[in-house]
Amino acid sequence: MKNKKLNKFFWYVFLILFMAFTTLYTAGRAGYYEYTQNQKKIFTEEQIKKFEEDVFLGKEVDINDYLVVKENFQDEKKRLGLKASEFIGVYTKIGIDKIFKMLAKLVEN
């Protein structure tokens, strides 16, 4: 009975890890990271062109007009989301460590 539960647990863990791998692999192959980096590059080039045009036209130039304001995580809802993701990250790491320790014991026996 114990072996059956252990086998079932192993397959659940394997399935979850396989799904995570498949998701990350698909995102990588689809070029998600490259797309986001390209969007940043295009935005930067647009801001440079806007700056150069304003200088050429003799407008008063302020650096703050061309910078992107990073999102502030100081309001309560965003802080709560950040804390929740940190909590999940810590306990996921602990869980994965325990799973691999258990699998190491199974392999050794």
Do residues 47 and 66 touch, judged by C-beta distance below 8 A? yes
Distance between CA 85 and CA 51 in Å, rounded?
38
Decide: pTM greater than 0.75.
Answer: no
* DSSP, res 68: P
Chain-centroid distance of CA 79 in Å reads: 17
- Average pLDDT along the chain, 109 residues, taken 10 residues at a time: 76 87 83 82 86 86 75 71 84 87 81
* Structure confidence at residue 73 (pLDDT): 62
CB 51 within 8 A of CB 61: yes
User: What does the alpha-carbon distance between residue 84 and residue 70 come to, in Å, rounded to a whole number?
Assistant: 21
